Amino acid sequence: MSRKRTALLASLALVAGATGSALTLADVATAAVPCTVDYKVQNQWDTGFTTAVTITNHGAAKSSWSLGWTFAGNQKVTNGWNAQIGQSGADVTAKNESYNGSLATGGSISFGFNGTYTGTNALPTTFTLDGVTCNVDDGGGSEPTDPPTDPPTEPGERVDNPYSGAKVYVNPEWSAKAAAEPGGDRIANQPTGVWLDRIAAINGASGKMGLRDHLDAALEQKGSDEMVVQLVIYNLPGRDCAALASNGELKDDEIDRYKTEYIDPIAAILADEKYADLRIVTTVEIDSLPNLVTNTGSRETATPQCDTMLANGNYIKGVGYALNKLGDVPNVYNYVDAGHHGWIGWDSNFTPSAEMFKKAATAEGATVDDVHGFIANTANYSALKEENFKITDTVAGKSVRESNWVDWNQYTDELSFSQALREELVSIGFNSGIGMLIDTSRNGWGGADRPTGPGATTDVDTYVDGGRYDRRINPGNWCNQSGAGLGERPQASPEPGIDAYVWMKPPGESDGASKQIDNEEGKGFDRMCDPTYEGNARNGYNMSGALGDAPLSGHWFSAQFQELMKNAYPAL
């Protein structure tokens, strides 16, 4: 007889004796027992285990909760997720995080942890929720007679497309923020990228989950399915040399710190055999290599910082080192950031950028075999498809390329750009099997203002401006864009050469502060995030188009999240 059934029968006897009336098991489950705990050992090996815990509340709604239990052996909790877990001797207390304290009547909350043990990993027998004893539901959660197999030590070959046939990890921290927004539960279950944007993020900065926490949570979500985890590797020395909002902690000459304090610890964690069954996708160093092409030398868009990074070679060395070390882990799939069509789509930028990618992919011991693909439009707003005009169209004697919006670019949207860039990269020596990812998290441009057809043919600008989905003032505008919407939902293999549409930039996370904010994250104030800014050479001296009252990059921006939902295309 299971523990749960034994506890229910005992409660039934007590209640019936007290009242003189007969109660069903269902009555007792809700009336006499305030909570149920499902404690499941999901994975167990010689000295360690992973456990998932679910609390179901049968009593009054709670705004905070604390679950306690006592280990029967010498188990020690090493790390956990979705709860603040403390241990004193054999006694353990798990308390809610700031984002998951609400526990409705009939509602459930889940958290997990890793632990160590020697001898027998006996299960706890008693749990208390806020001091009150709960039922124990051990259906499938009791100590297994035959423990699960050890994590594999020799994982199989990489698959052609890691997203094919796989679930993708839902970051519980982002999901909780999304769900807390009015209407946010419509997208809170979508997978987004986990940004490792400073050294402290590896172990968890400012109370957030660290890399192991995310990987452990991914194992919990994985079950028996294939699972992709998306990481953004983003901490180069002299990071983001053409902007200030996302400057990083490492100075332009701190390449050794980048290698030993950032990449090496990440690689060591990813190589842990416990995570060998995860498909780990990395987006490698956004906004880096194209800057060495477009914002250096005699160009009007050049910056002294980008000239420095070109001269010292630390972007090339850093990306090469990351590709080499991360590529040594058999279940890691490296995708190098490739900018977007509104940045490197011009003839003068396109092939030189591809060649710069090749240079980085063969630096510091890396080879093209360490590159599984490339990602376009990361954290940007370029439309996936512009369906109301084509690059080959001619209106009133002028080609679309001559319009002010296209401005002689070779491409009008991210899909055509990504497919062409893939062909270019293969032609210069990258493997023919490379795939592209496109970040569609904020490029939907829906809502009431979305055009339903091309503009009038009176002149080429009217034709393009009247029909384009991308409603930015200029394609060089990149910070918290007004009017933007959620784009295509994440999906695998949507078009030839495209491995997946992804939401690598979590919707609702700011691109940068709209005014100076002192901080300890190394992030500066970039006027392109100021709605009053009148622009620079990189956006044709146009207004920035940014939303006001924005927080630091990476911080939650509720107003932007609401606007993205309102203008989503496809609509929510």
**Residues whose CB is less than 8 angstroms from the CB of residue 367 and which lie 6 or more positions away in sequence, other chains included:** 361
287 is an active site residue = yes
Give CA separation, 169 vs 157, 199, 438, 501, in Å.
21, 22, 17, 14
Please compute, for residue 282, the number of CA atoms within 13 A of its CA located in the half-sphere on the CB side.
29
Q: Are residues 299 and 238 in the same domain?
A: yes
Condensed to tens digits (0 to 9), the pLDDT of residues 399-458 reads: 999 999 999 999 999 999 999 999 999 999 999 999 999 999 999 999 999 999 999 999
pLDDT at 50: 78
Q: Are residues 247 and 359 in the same domain?
A: yes
Going through 345-473 in order, the beta strands assigned E by DSSP cover 373-376, 394-395, 398-399, 435-439
Q: Cα separation of 50 and 113, whole Å? A: 6
Going through 183-224 in order, the beta strands assigned E by DSSP cover 194-196
Q: Check pLDDT > 50 for residue 64.
A: yes
Condensed to tens digits (0 to 9), the pLDDT of residues 12-48 reads: 333 333 333 333 333 333 445 789 999 988 767 777 7
Q: Cα separation of 471 and 445, whole Å? A: 7
Q: Cα separation of 516 and 552, whole Å? A: 9
Q: Is 439 annotated as a binding residue?
A: no
pLDDT at 4: 34
- 81 pLDDT band, cuts 50/70/90, is confident
How far is C-alpha 248 from the geometric centre of its chain's CA atoms? 19
Q: What share of the chain is helix, strand, coil (3-state, %, to 5)?
A: 30, 20, 50
CATH of the domain at 432: 3.20.20.40
pLDDT at 98: 79
Asked whether residue 572 is assigned to any structural domain, the reply reads: no
Asked whether residue 488 is assigned to any structural domain, the reply reads: yes
Give ∠ CA 496-501-506 in degrees, rounded to 5.
165
Q: Is 445 annotated as a binding residue?
A: no
CATH of the domain at 87: 2.60.40.290
Q: Are residues 122 and 228 in the same domain?
A: no
SS (H, E, C) 283-327: EECCCCHHHHHHCCCCCCCCCHHHHHHHHHCHHHHHHHHHHHHHH
Q: Are residues 180 and 103 in the same domain?
A: no
Q: Cα separation of 166 and 404, whole Å? A: 42
Q: Cα separation of 504 and 282, whole Å? A: 10
Joined together, the tokens standing for residue 428 give 């210069």
- Of the candidates 287, 370, 439, 470, the residue annotated as catalytic is 287
H or E element that contains 36: strand 35-44
Q: Is 505 annotated as a binding residue?
A: yes
- 137 pLDDT band, cuts 50/70/90, is confident
511 is an active site residue = yes
Asked whether residue 461 is assigned to any structural domain, the reply reads: no
Is the Cβ–Cβ distance between 234 and 195 less than 8 Å? yes
Q: Are residues 286 and 240 in the same domain?
A: yes
Q: Are residues 386 and 288 in the same domain?
A: yes
Asked whether residue 376 is assigned to any structural domain, the reply reads: yes
In Å, the largest CA–CA distance within the chain is 94
- The identity of residue 224, as a single letter, is S
347-361 and 314-327 are packed helices; what angle lies between their axes, rounded to 10 degrees? 50
Is the Cβ–Cβ distance between 337 and 286 less than 8 Å? yes
Joined together, the tokens standing for residue 348 give 């003068």
Q: Are residues 382 and 302 in the same domain?
A: yes
Q: Is 380 annotated as a binding residue?
A: yes
User: How many C-beta atoms lie closer than 10 Å to residue 80's C-beta?
Assistant: 22
Q: Are residues 17 and 43 in the same domain?
A: no
Asked whether residue 460 is assigned to any structural domain, the reply reads: no
Q: Cα separation of 158 and 334, whole Å? A: 11
* pTM tops 0.85: no
H or E element that contains 237: none
Q: Is 408 annotated as a binding residue?
A: no
* Averaged pLDDT score across all residues of the chain: 89
Q: Are residues 51 and 24 in the same domain?
A: no
User: How many C-beta atoms lie closer than 10 Å to residue 132's C-beta?
Assistant: 11
Q: Determine which of 193-197, 300-304, 460-464 has the lowest per-residue pLDDT on average.
A: 300-304
Exposure class string for 94-115: b at 16+ Cβ within 10 A, else e: bebbeebeebeeeeebbbbbbb
pLDDT at 349: 96
27 is an active site residue = no
Q: Is 340 annotated as a binding residue?
A: yes
Please compute, for residue 199, the number of CA atoms within 13 A of its CA located in the half-sphere on the CB side.
15
Tell me which residue range forms the domain holding 103. Answer: 34-137
**Residues whose CB is less than 8 angstroms from the CB of residue 146 and which lie 6 or more positions away in sequence, other chains included:** none
Q: Cα separation of 448 and 480, whole Å? A: 19
Q: Check pLDDT > 50 for residue 180.
A: yes
Q: Are residues 231 and 260 in the same domain?
A: yes
Closest CA to 67 of 113, 7, 133, 2: 133
Q: Cα separation of 72 and 90, whole Å? A: 7
Is the Cβ–Cβ distance between 105 and 57 less than 8 Å? yes
- 49 pLDDT band, cuts 50/70/90, is confident
Condensed to tens digits (0 to 9), the pLDDT of residues 291-303 reads: 999 999 999 989 9
pLDDT at 245: 67
Asked whether residue 155 is assigned to any structural domain, the reply reads: no
Q: Are residues 291 and 430 in the same domain?
A: yes
Is the Cβ–Cβ distance between 306 and 241 less than 8 Å? yes
What average pLDDT does the segment 558-564 reach? 97
Closest CA to 171 of 554, 559, 568, 513: 554
Asked whether residue 304 is assigned to any structural domain, the reply reads: yes
Asked whether residue 403 is assigned to any structural domain, the reply reads: no
Is the Cα torsion angle 511, 551, 218, 236 positive or negative in sign? positive
pLDDT at 138: 64
- The total of structural domains in the chain comes to 3
- Of the candidates 213, 240, 470, 526, the residue annotated as catalytic is 240
Q: Are residues 21 and 124 in the same domain?
A: no
Burial class (CB in 10 A: 0-12, 13-18, 19+), 79: middle
> What SS3 class is residue 114?
strand
- 8-state DSSP, 490: P
- Of the candidates 337, 393, 439, 511, the residue annotated as catalytic is 511
Q: Check pLDDT > 80 for residue 145.
A: no
